């Protein structure tokens, strides 16, 4: 490939996306209005588990403005198949039938039972009140450990169990490693359930196409391409007649990475009624009907030498599936199973995950998707190990890091990390944070018995990014098709269209892909238009999730642009009557080596390729090239974070004072955008660590059912971030890039909780579960006062929704 | 139904509306102002923030009839003769937005904040925007944008 100096890549090019967004001219799905469009609303179950004995919609149907009311009987037969789960983690995994509307039984609060179609959304909502549903209450199970007991109520009677699957992974001889280990540390951590909360709720518009009999679906989604294939399949529409458009999408974080009931319903309703239909989610509905994140009970055991060198790691997870399996539900925790060994070089590892059904909203991908859970587990227990062997947290990590490497290296989980230099990242973050100064301040406060203690918490993490290698995805039960596609075409005017299969919703692909293409083609980013998000414009794509867009899709843009230059070079040689090998390309100009006056611009070559009059013998006209990039391996960004907290020992209040992060995601395309991704990621991780928790009561009611009750941190709760980076290129792709969208969310929760515990270490506190609310922190301090100092017993009570033995009062209070 | 007369972005409108119609839905559905967003329905997230007589209000918890006779400004009315408002420019230049969904509300809240406190400290900026939630930026560059718009030195 022709390589030339990078002019725009690596620079902070201001975002091309912004003008529409700062002036209010963006096209959100809810902004789409089509002639004759009707609105639909869903009646959702007020119970977590009940039989539906009767539904009477006659009163609702009689209301002015109501066009139709449908229940499962009217809708589900219109489906060719139910809502799919695409991740078959084991062959005997139990996968329940999941239709857009519940038929005989509702299985979680918010399960939809009927749909009203009306002239406007107020009328549709009003009519919901006039549908009478008779429910016969069934026993509810919300806690995983209860759900696995033999006398538990069953979410799906037909399976005879609430266990969805058990997935094991083992390498080396773990039992042998533990048998003679001088040090063994055992912990239980609770990964509380989270509500992803993209600020734009979901919305969908389906428009029947009178010409080809198909449909155009506009939807607030991260995955228009996957949705096109799947919606066509489950709704019985020929794939080529289905078009899906993701207009401007207001955040996703994994919660818009799914095939939702409302999207299928929109197609079915548009087909039934022959008119466009629209559904817009409300926030309280979002909290019930959009997938949740996390929700695991993690049991970890680590064996080590007396110097703290890891000998083996055992991990057992219970992972809450909720009531149904959405597209990736069962695979999120098992994906995390590959990441518990973290950045540490050891050999013996065993992992077992049980997926469990409960009467709650299904879980699925949420920023990090399995990896924040894993990083949290290993990074928390590394601190416990440090305490046990009596070394500093940074030292225990250093003793176990891999030596830096730049070629794929086998891990205890049987995958291959691409390139690491944790030592470099740790050194840099220690300096960035003035670590010595922080420890000195901590000592001062301790010596002074300051009621507000200082905490310094570490995490050194890695993550698995760039979901791609099709063969690997197939091997883990995810079907394959992990490639990403791009088309780069020079137009007759010398400007450029880049078509990408990625689907940005805040990540700035339009700007970054412009930079990549501009550098290869010798044009400016303003000369490049990036087209995306509409399957009619960008027919091939695998969409945006798992920090894959740059590492797979951005690379595809780079490769396609390279192919354009190769072809253009042949045309230039022909035009200049020179040998192709003698042609040089720089700054958008082809010239003959040694005779710079003999030259022709890329724009002129593009014009010639378009006209097709004077091309080399046998060459086809036009400068347009495709790439479908399928890399050989994942990428593994890594980093070292330090979270500095001030913990008020009298009130339990935690303030994050500073946050220092050194992240390594390989070479940077746009530092402004990359830093922005890190900022947002860290904030979302701090949100889990300190503030957020979705709480269900015993009856399966979501107690945190609106933003009034679910604490999303605002600007006062989030600190200023101090960032730096190291650059270790990945051998997995020609740009060496690794991905950065989830790094902050993965690195920050353990750093924050380790920090809070560090602040309280002289009080004897060794464990607090997330979120570290004032009540939990205060309770931990009080409990530690009453126990022997230095205890390492984890709080096993967990939170109401996630664990069982609430008889132990520790940590069981609400916020 | 009640008749209301509202000035929005410099243009006066008269409509018969249901008394229960929320101002955000009046702006979006009746007037077609897609730049006013709804994010939570409980006045927590601030995506719907607009200015009413120069004061920031959350239009998801104001009824359209309460806006009768009032002067409303949305993000779509800020640019003058194609020139962006300095706060819009600052959000762009400081990368104070990612998905952009909270941005119109954030911009309107910032305008209101800077009117009250022309040179806010970082703490005052964070406190001043506590009613506006952003899930993408971690607020870092929003704070930077507000400082820039206020003409304060930006670190």
CATH superfamily entry for domain B2-77: Beta-grasp domain (3.10.20.30)
pLDDT at site A790? 44
Rounded Cα gap, residues A327 and A318, in angstroms: 19
Interface test with A, best of B22, B45, B140 (most A CBs within 10 A): B140
User: Which residues pair with residue A724 across a beta bridge?
Assistant: A662
Say which DSSP state A14 is in.
P
Nearest CA in chain A to B21: A122
Query: CA-CA distance, A718 to A683, in Å (whole number)?
Result: 7
By Cβ distance, the residue of A198, A507, A715 closest to B129 is A715
**pLDDT mean over A693-715:** 97
Domains delineated in chain A: 18-25+483-629 (3.30.365.10), 32-138+200-250+256-289 (3.90.1170.50), 293-467+633-786 (3.30.365.10)
Q: What DSSP state is assigned to residue B33?
A: -
Q: How far apart are the first and last CA of chain A?
A: 58
**CA–CA–CA angle B75, B81, B85 (5° rounding):** 40
Closest residue on chain A to B96 (Cα): A676
Mean pLDDT of the region A420-438: 98
CA distances to A3, A4, A592 from A600, rounded to whole Å, are 18, 17, 9
ipTM reported for the complex, 2 dp: 0.97
On the question of pLDDT at A788 being above 80, the answer is no
- Asked whether the beta carbons of residue B95 and residue A15 sit closer than 8 angstroms, the reply is yes
Domain covering B86-149: architecture:
Orthogonal Bundle (1.10)
Q: Are A515 and A677 in contact (CB under 8 A)?
A: no
Question: Nearest CB to B97: which of A18, A253, A681?
Answer: A18
Mean pLDDT for the stretch of residues A591-604:
96
Q: Residue A792 above 80 pLDDT? A: no
The 10s digit of each residue's pLDDT in A32-82 is 999 999 999 999 999 999 999 999 999 999 999 999 999 999 999 999 999
For B96, the token pair is: 């104070």
Give B75's DSSP letter. G
Q: How confident is the model over A134-166, as pLDDT tens digits?
A: 999 999 999 999 999 999 999 999 999 999 999
Residue A243 in contact with residue A215, Cβ under 8 Å?
yes
The proportion of chain A whose per-residue pLDDT surpasses 70, expressed as a percent, equals 96
Q: Is the model's pLDDT at A594 over the cut of 60?
A: yes
The answer to whether B37 contacts chain A (CB < 8 Å) is: yes
In the predicted model, is pLDDT for residue A810 greater than 50?
no
Per DSSP, the three-state class of A227 is helix
Q: If we measure between CA atoms, which residue out of A633, A702, A625 comes closest to residue A193? A: A702
Task: Judge whether residue A801 has pLDDT over 70.
Answer: no
Say if residues A425 and A638 touch (Cβ distance below 8 Å): yes
Chain-wide mean pLDDT for chain A? 95
pLDDT of A796 above 90? no
Residue A673 touches chain B, beta carbons under 8 Å: yes
Domain map of chain B by residue range? Answer: 2-77, 86-149
What's the pLDDT score for residue A9? 95
Please tell me the predicted confidence (pLDDT) of residue A127. Answer: 98
Residue contact A22–B84, C-beta within 8 A:
yes
Burial of B42 (0-12, 13-18, 19+ CB in 10 A): middle
| H-helix or E-strand spanning residue A391 | none
Mean pLDDT within A351-363: 98
pLDDT of residue A477: 86
Cα distance between residue A797 and residue A186, in whole Å: 15
Q: Kindly report the nearest CA distance between residue A751 and chain B, in angstroms.
A: 16
Q: Could A199 and B84 be called an inter-chain contact, meaning their C-beta atoms sit closer than 8 Å?
A: no
Q: What is the pLDDT of residues A502-545, one digit of tens each?
A: 999 999 999 999 999 999 999 999 999 999 999 999 999 999 99
Using a CB-CB distance cutoff of 8 angstroms, which residues of chain A are in contact with residue B48?
A: none
- Select from B76, B131, B143 the Cβ nearest to the Cβ of A24: B76
CA dihedral B16, B20, B25, B27 (to 10 degrees): 50
In the predicted model, what is the mean pLDDT of residues A638-643? 98
Does A23 contact B35 at a Cβ distance shorter than 8 Å? yes
Task: Give per-residue pLDDT as tens, A270-298.
Answer: 999 999 999 999 999 999 999 999 999 99
- CB of A679 within 8 Å of a chain B CB? The answer is yes
Tokens of A548: 């894959």
What tokens does B132 get? 């506006």
Which B residues in the span 43-62 are in contact with A, Cβ-Cβ below 8 Å? Answer: 44-45, 47
Structure tokens at A35: 């002639």
Does B129 contact A720 at a Cβ distance shorter than 8 Å? no
Nearest chain A residue to B136 by CA: give it. Answer: A680
Q: Give the pLDDT confidence of B43-64 residue by residue, as tens digits.
A: 999 999 999 999 999 999 999 9
What tens digit of pLDDT does each residue of A299-332 get? 999 999 999 999 999 999 999 999 999 999 999 9
Q: Give the DSSP per-residue string, A466-488.
A: ----HHHHHHTTS-S---EEEEE
Q: Which residue has the tokens 């055991």?
A: A301
d(CA A87, CA A72): 26
Q: What is the DSSP string of A581-630?
A: GGEEEETTEEEETTEEEEEEEHHHHHHHHHH-SS--TTPPSSEEEEEEE-
- Which residues of B fall within a CB distance of 8 Å from A251? 98-99, 101, 135-136
pLDDT digit string, tens, across residues A188-203: 999 999 999 999 999 9
Q: Which residues of A94-121 are buried (b: 16+ CB within 10 A; e: fewer)?
A: bbbebbbbbeebbbbbbbbbbbbbbeeb
What are phi and psi for residue A705, nearest 5 degrees? Answer: -90, 5
CB of A676 within 8 Å of any CB in chain B?
Answer: yes
pLDDT < 70 regions, chain B: 152-155
Q: What integer pLDDT is reported at residue A807 of this predicted model? A: 37
pLDDT-derived band of residue A787, with 50, 70 and 90 as boundaries? low
Residues in chain B within 8 Å Cβ distance of A22: 75, 84, 88, 91-92, 97, 100, 103-104, 107
Average pLDDT over residues A228-241: 98
- Please choose, from the candidates A430, A86, A420, the residue with its C-alpha nearest in 3D space to the C-alpha of residue A226: A86
For residue range A493-502, what is the model confidence (pLDDT) as tens digits? 999 999 999 9
pLDDT at A468: 85
């Amino acid at each position: 490939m022709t390589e030339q100096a990078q002019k725009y890549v690596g620079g902070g090019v201001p975002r091309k996306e912004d003008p529409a967004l700062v002036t209010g001219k963006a096209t959100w799905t809810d902004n789409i209005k089509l002639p004759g469009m009707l609105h639909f609303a869903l009646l959702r179950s007020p119970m977590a588990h009940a039989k539906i004995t009767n539904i009477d919609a006659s009163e609702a149907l009689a209301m002015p403005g109501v066009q139709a009311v449908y229940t499962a009987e009217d809708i589900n037969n219109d489906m060719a198949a139910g809502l799919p789960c695409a991740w078959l983690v084991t062959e005997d995994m139990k996968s329940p039938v999941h239709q857009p509307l519940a038929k005989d039984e509702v299985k979680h609060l918010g399960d939809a039972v009927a749909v009203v179609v009306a002239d406007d959304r107020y009328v549709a909502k009003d009519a919901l009140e006039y549908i009478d549903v008779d429910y016969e209450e069934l026993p509810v199970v919300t806690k995983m450990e209860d759900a696995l007991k033999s006398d538990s109520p069953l979410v799906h009677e037909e399976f005879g169990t609430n266990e969805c699957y058990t997935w094991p992974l083992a390498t080396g001889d773990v039992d042998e490693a533990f048998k003679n280990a001088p040090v063994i540390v055992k912990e239980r951590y609770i990964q509380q359930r989270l509500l992803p909360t993209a600020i734009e709720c979901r919305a969908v518009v389906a428009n029947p196409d009178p010409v080809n009999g198909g449909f155009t679906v506009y939807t607030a989604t991260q995955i228009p391409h996957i949705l096109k294939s799947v919606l066509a399949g489950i709704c019985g529409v020929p794939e080529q007649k289905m078009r899906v458009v993701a207009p401007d999408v207001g955040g996703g974080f994994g919660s818009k990475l799914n095939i939702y009931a409302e999207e299928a319903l929109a197609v079915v309703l548009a087909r039934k009624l022959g008119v466009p239909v629209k559904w817009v989610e409300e926030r309280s509905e979002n909290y019930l009907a959009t997938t949740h994140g996390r929700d695991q009970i993690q049991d970890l055991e680590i064996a080590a030498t007396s110097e703290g060198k890891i000998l083996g790691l055992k991990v057992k997870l219970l992972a809450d599936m909720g009531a149904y399996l959405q597209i990736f539900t069962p695979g999120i925790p098992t994906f995390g199973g590959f990441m518990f060994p973290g950045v540490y070089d050891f050999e013996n590892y065993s992992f077992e995950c049980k997926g469990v059904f409960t009467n709650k909203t299904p879980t699925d991908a949420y920023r990090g998707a399995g990896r924040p859970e894993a990083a949290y587990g290993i990074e928390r227990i590394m601190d416990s190990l440090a305490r046990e062997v009596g070394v500093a947290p940074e030292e225990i990590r250093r003793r176990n890091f891999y030596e830096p490497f730049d070629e794929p290296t086998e891990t205890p989980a049987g995958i291959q990390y691409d390139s690491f230099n944790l030592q470099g990242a740790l050194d840099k973050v220690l300096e960035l944070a003035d670590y010595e100064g922080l420890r000195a301040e901590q000592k001062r406060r301790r010596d002074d018995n300051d009621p507000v203690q200082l905490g310094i918490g570490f995490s050194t993490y890695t993550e698995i990014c760039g979901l791609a290698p099709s063969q690997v995805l197939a091997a883990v039960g995810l079907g394959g098709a992990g490639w990403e596609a791009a088309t780069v075409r020079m137009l007759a005017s010398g400007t450029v269209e880049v078509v990408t299969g990625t689907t940005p919703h805040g990540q700035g692909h339009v700007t970054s892909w412009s930079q990549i293409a501009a550098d290869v083609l010798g044009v400016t980013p303003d000369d490049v238009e990036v087209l995306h998000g509409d399957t009619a414009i960008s027919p091939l794509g695998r969409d945006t999730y798992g920090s894959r867009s740059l590492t797979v899709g951005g690379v595809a843009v780079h490769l396609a642009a390279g192919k354009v230059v190769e072809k253009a070079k042949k045309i230039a040689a022909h035009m200049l009557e020179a040998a192709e090998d003698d042609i040089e390309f720089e700054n958008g100009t082809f010239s003959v080596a040694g005779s710079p006056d003999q030259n022709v611009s890329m724009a002129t070559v593009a014009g010639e390729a378009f006209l097709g009059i004077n091309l080399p013998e046998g060459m086809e006209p036009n400068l347009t090239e495709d790439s479908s990039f399928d890399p050989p391996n994942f990428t593994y960004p890594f980093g070292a974070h330090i979270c500095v907290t001030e913990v008020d020992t009298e009130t339990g209040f935690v303030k994050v004072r500073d946050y220092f992060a050194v992240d390594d995601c390989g070479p940077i395309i746009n530092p402004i955008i990359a830093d922005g991704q890190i900022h947002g990621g860290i904030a979302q991780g701090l949100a889990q660590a300190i503030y957020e928790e979705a709480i269900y009561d015993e009856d399966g009611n979501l107690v945190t059912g609106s933003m009034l009750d679910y604490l999303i941190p605002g600007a006062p709760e989030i600190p200023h971030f101090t960032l730096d980076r190291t650059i270790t290129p990945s051998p997995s792709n020609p740009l060496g890039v690794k991905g950065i969208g989830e790094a902050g969310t993965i690195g920050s929760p353990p750093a924050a909780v380790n920090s809070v515990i560090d602040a309280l270490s002289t009080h004897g506190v060794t464990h607090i579960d997330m979120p570290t609310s004032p009540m939990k922190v205060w309770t931990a301090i009080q409990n530690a006062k009453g126990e022997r100092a230095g205890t390492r017993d984890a709080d096993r009570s967990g939170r109401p929704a996630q664990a069982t033995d609430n008889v132990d009062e520790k940590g069981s209070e609400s916020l | 139904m009640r008749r209301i007369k509202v000035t929005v972005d410099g243009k006066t409108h008269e409509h018969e509306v249901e008394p229960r119609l929320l101002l955000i839905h009046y702006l979006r559905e009746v007037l077609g102002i897609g730049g006013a967003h709804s994010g939570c329905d409980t006045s927590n997230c601030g995506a719907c923030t607009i200015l009413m007589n120069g004061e920031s209000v959350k239009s998801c918890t104001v009824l359209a009839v309460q806006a009768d006779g009032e002067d409303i400004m949305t993000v779509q009315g800020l640019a003058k003769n194609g020139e962006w408002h300095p706060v819009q420019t600052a959000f762009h230049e400081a990368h104070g937005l990612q998905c952009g969904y909270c941005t119109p509300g954030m911009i309107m809240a910032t305008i209101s904040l800077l009117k009250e406190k022309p040179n806010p400290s970082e703490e005052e900026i964070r406190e001043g925007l506590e009613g506006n939630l952003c899930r993408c930026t971690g607020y870092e560059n929003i704070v930077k944008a507000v400082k820039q718009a206020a003409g304060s030195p930006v670190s």
